Amino acid sequence: MSSQPNNPLHGVTLEQILIVLVDNYGWDALGTKIAIRCFTHDPSIASSLKFLRRTPWARTKVESLYVQLLKKQ
């Protein structure tokens, strides 16, 4: 197994990413930044994880937003 020292997503779970994004932006702003139903209609971590795990394009958007947030901090 190779290490990935320059990959900000290495070792971070999708749940951890989602929690950080919700803590920083809140559900309303997150739904504005990434317009997916699981963020705008009765959002929860569990329902969002279920959707993101089976929807690669949405997961990519969430991971990209997380990486942008890390670069700002």
Residue 60 resides in a domain:
yes
Amino acid at 30: L
Residue 10 resides in a domain:
no
3-state DSSP assignment of residue 26: helix
Provide the H-helix boundaries in the chain. Answer: 14-33, 37-40, 45-53, 56-72
Model pTM above 0.85: yes
Residue 17 resides in a domain:
no
pLDDT at residue 22, as a whole number: 97
Run of H or E residues at 61: helix 56-72
Residue 8 resides in a domain:
no
3-state DSSP assignment of residue 50: helix
Residue 9 resides in a domain:
no
Residue 5 resides in a domain:
no
Question: Tens place of pLDDT for every residue, the chain, 73 residues?
Answer: 456 767 888 889 999 999 999 999 999 999 999 999 999 999 999 999 999 999 999 999 999 999 999 998 8
Residue 68 resides in a domain:
yes
Question: For residue 29, what are the domain limits?
Answer: 25-72
pLDDT at residue 26, as a whole number: 96
